Structure 1
Amino acid sequence: MTNANVMSDSQESALMDEETYKVIEQQFGGTLPVPESINEELLAIPEEKVDTCNNNLHYAALESVGKLKRFKEEEEEEYYPAPELFSTMLSDEAFTGQLNFQCSLGTGGTGQDWLYSEKLDKVFIKMEKVLPMRFTWEPPMSGLYLRTTMVFMLEQYRSDPVRRCHNHMASTNPINLNMDPQRIKHVVHCVNHASSIYQERNEHLSILTPLCTPEAGSQYMPVSFKFLCKNSCPSGLNRRPTELVFTLEDHGGTVLGRRKLLVRVCSCPKRDKAKEEELSSMSSKRKLGNVVLPSSKKMLSSCDTHVYKVDLNIVGKENYLTVLKIAFDIMAGQAARTGQHEFYKPYMDEILRKMP
């Protein structure tokens, strides 16, 4: 037997009173069209049934609105700053900010995998080996992000993107098997945070890692990195000195702090560390402070500062080292005569780093 008070599907779908419409309009914006037939259909239905259906639809509408709000809140919790915001990573200025952002090296630098030079404030590390880092900020609140970018240290190369060489990016390279295509170009990889996002804008690459508060009993957030290309690779880093730049960012991408660390990816950290420290000592001896100039001699205030790039093929290691030494001595002498040590120092340091 059919109940006379049971409504058809079409009647149930049309049941929505003015109050319910207003609730939906307030939550979603705009104005909803009211069907002209709604009043006619309501008149044909018993009043008590209409009230019951209206209440059900009213609560259903409110429940849908609540679900939408929760969905939007979840989306916002998973929001990451837009890639275009990391253009500030090219800045060379380090600062701790109001949150006292700090970074330090973890343990494990034995010389087999990586070594740290206090004299140079620089890390020497083998390719594919893990570099443990520790990050702190005060107070240790959550909702922040760490952006990691490798950049060229010298100013003339600062705007060039740092990426892996052609050989290390090749599909035949076993390291690249099953690797996410978005990560292929990156020299630096984060190895202990699967939630890290690899971003690219204008060919510049960075890694964005969500930060959480340190675990109970710990004062820092550990983040570890690997390097999948060497500084000596000709088509990638091309023997140019590099550094890691770390920025602490908030939910909207505002930079709250910046730290940096010189890094050289090489085959023998112990050997390269010893060489660079020795060359740095040689460079220090040539500073103006070790040169006595006659008081009557006036230093030149200016000279030819145009930078010329020379690309030569030198036969023989001794000849190659001799050319580099002569170039270094010429600029060291020019710096001593003119007093423009700050200008010449980056170029002299670059020559020192090219010495094998």
Structure 2
Amino acid sequence: MSSQSDFLPPDVQNFLLAEMEGDNMDNLNFFKDEPTLNDLNYSNILNGSIVANDDSKMVHLIFPGVQTSVPSNDEYDGPYEFEVDVHPTVAKNSWVYSTTLNKVYMTMGSPFPVDFRVSHRPPNPLFIRSTPVYSAPQFAQECVYRCLNHEFSHKESDGDLKEHIRPHIIRCANQYAAYLGDKSKNERLSVVIPFGIPQTGTESVREIFEFVCKNSCPSPGMNRRAVEIIFTLEDNQGTIYGRKTLNVRICSCPKRDKEKDEKDNTANTNLPHGKKRKMEKPSKKPMQTQAENDTKEFTLTIPLVGRHNEQNVLKYCHDLMAGEILRNIGNGTEGPYKIALNKINTLIRESSE
């Protein structure tokens, strides 16, 4: 973990010390002990304030607040030439990076380093916000949350982790990371960290992230939808000075999924353009099988041993109904599947309690 001299730029440290010695002493709050992430008061984080150490004194830094609008994914270097770097894949890494797709594939819980840099900085402190969003435009307005199985797992519930952090799919090793947003209020979740200065001999600041839910997890998780992380460079007012995006996939077999996606992308890129094709005429009365017309609801009572087996069966049923909704959403017959899916979601919540 970086030293405190790396936490704030020297010009900011001098500015704060000048404030302490001047007439603005009453505006600064001091504490004896340095706080850790679990010591931070959640109400203070929501109000946009957090404590940071400077020359053995505790000073309030004002963090940007909760993000209320759908974040843009248009990349923007900004006035400080903001850059985000991902290191090339190393053989023993638990993650792989596709330069073709600008996408990282990793297993859940794997430490993932990201380097941030700027060409120069303003005198006021800057922050980096990491916001997960769904890549598809039709899902961009939905907030990204963890699935119930991971949010309420024994590892999360039995630890010292604050309750408001559990729904976040992103974790950051920075001790001053602020987890903003409230799932109970349907707010968008993001992680905000102070942007430190590079250590001597380097040009970038490295932060370690990890993801604690998979793309394949059922609703209210990502439910097999593509996700990207939007990194924004901000001041304490939330003004954006830079923006970069990174596609991510959290899965069990990163290398396999990367090779498959790159192969599919190559196939789509090589499709001929402008060539006429003869269209086959559809039959006037398409035949429908009995399964396609079967929308009768069935309720099963199945004896199972083990809570994990019950949750796996419910997850499988959830994915079945979600798939049927996608297949029938255009023909107006998705109603019975939505009703069944809502009942299954209720059972999943009850099973997780």
Under a length normalisation based on structure 2, what TM-score does the superposition of the two structures give?
0.59
Q: Distance between the aligned counterparts of 1:171 and 1:184, measured in 2?
A: 10
Q: Distance between the aligned counterparts of 1:102 and 1:225, measured in 2?
A: 17
SS of structure 2 residue aligned to 1:168:
helix
Q: Percent same amino acid at aligned positions?
A: 30
In terms of fraction of residues, the more helix-rich structure is 1
Conservation of the 8 A alpha-carbon contact between 2:107 and 2:251: yes
Q: Distance between the aligned counterparts of 1:151 and 1:69, measured in 2?
A: 40
Conservation of the 8 A alpha-carbon contact between 1:176 and 1:184: no
The match for 2:260 is 275
RMSD: 3.1
2:170 to 188, 204, 215: 188
The match for 2:77 is 96
The match for 1:70 is 25
The match for 2:62 is 80
Offset of residue 151 of structure 1: 0.6
Q: Distance between the aligned counterparts of 2:26 and 2:87, measured in 1?
A: 39
SS of structure 2 residue aligned to 1:78:
strand
Conservation of the 8 A alpha-carbon contact between 2:179 and 2:190: yes
SS of structure 1 residue aligned to 2:268:
helix
1:119 to 92, 97, 100: 100
Q: Distance between the aligned counterparts of 1:281 and 1:123, measured in 2?
A: 17
CA deviations over 1:259-283 (Å, ceiling 9, x no partner): 0000000011111101111111222
Cα distance change of structure 1 residues 121 and 81 upon mapping to structure 2, 3 Å threshold: same
CA deviations over 1:103-154 (Å, ceiling 9, x no partner): 0013664365000011211100110001100001121456100000111000
Q: Distance between the aligned counterparts of 1:120 and 1:232, measured in 2?
A: 19
Q: Distance between the aligned counterparts of 2:148 and 2:120, measured in 1?
A: 43
Q: Distance between the aligned counterparts of 2:62 and 2:69, measured in 1?
A: 16
Cα distance change of structure 1 residues 260 and 216 upon mapping to structure 2, 3 Å threshold: same
Conservation of the 8 A alpha-carbon contact between 1:147 and 1:246: yes
Task: Spell out the pairing of 1:181-220 with structure 2 (5 A cutoff).
Answer: 181-191=163-173, 193-200=174-181, 202-220=186-204
The match for 1:335 is none
Conservation of the 8 A alpha-carbon contact between 1:105 and 1:132: yes
Task: Spell out the pairing of 1:293-312 with structure 2 (5 A cutoff).
Answer: 293=276
In structure 2, give the amino acid aligned to 1:199. Answer: L
The match for 1:29 is none
In structure 2, give the amino acid aligned to 1:155. Answer: P
Q: Distance between the aligned counterparts of 2:109 and 2:23, measured in 1?
A: 45
SS of structure 1 residue aligned to 2:181:
strand
Cα distance change of structure 1 residues 171 and 127 upon mapping to structure 2, 3 Å threshold: closer
Q: Distance between the aligned counterparts of 2:181 and 2:94, measured in 1?
A: 29
The match for 1:243 is 228
The match for 1:134 is 115
Offset of residue 211 of structure 1: 1.1
Offset of residue 233 of structure 1: 0.5
Larger RCO, structure (CA 8 Å, separation 6 or more): 2
Q: Distance between the aligned counterparts of 1:262 and 1:207, measured in 2?
A: 17
Offset of residue 80 of structure 1: 2.8
The match for 2:275 is 292
The match for 2:152 is 170
In structure 2, give the amino acid aligned to 1:264. Answer: R
Greater Rg over alpha carbons, structure: 1
Q: Distance between the aligned counterparts of 2:144 and 2:156, measured in 1?
A: 21
Cα distance change of structure 1 residues 265 and 143 upon mapping to structure 2, 3 Å threshold: same
Number of corresponding residues: 233
Offset of residue 89 of structure 1: 5.9
Structure 1's unaligned 5+ residue stretches are: 1-64, 295-309, 314-319, 328-356
Offset of residue 175 of structure 1: 7.7
Conservation of the 8 A alpha-carbon contact between 1:167 and 1:173: no
Conservation of the 8 A alpha-carbon contact between 2:156 and 2:166: no
Structure 2's unaligned 5+ residue stretches are: 1-19, 31-48, 50-58, 278-291, 296-319, 328-353
Task: Spell out the pairing of 1:13-32 with structure 2 (5 A cutoff).
Answer: none
Q: Distance between the aligned counterparts of 2:69 and 2:207, measured in 1?
A: 21
Cα distance change of structure 1 residues 89 and 166 upon mapping to structure 2, 3 Å threshold: same
Offset of residue 82 of structure 1: 4.2
Cα distance change of structure 1 residues 140 and 216 upon mapping to structure 2, 3 Å threshold: farther
Q: Distance between the aligned counterparts of 1:74 and 1:67, measured in 2?
A: 14
Q: Distance between the aligned counterparts of 2:157 and 2:112, measured in 1?
A: 18
Q: Distance between the aligned counterparts of 2:157 and 2:258, measured in 1?
A: 26
In structure 1, give the amino acid aligned to 2:159. Answer: L
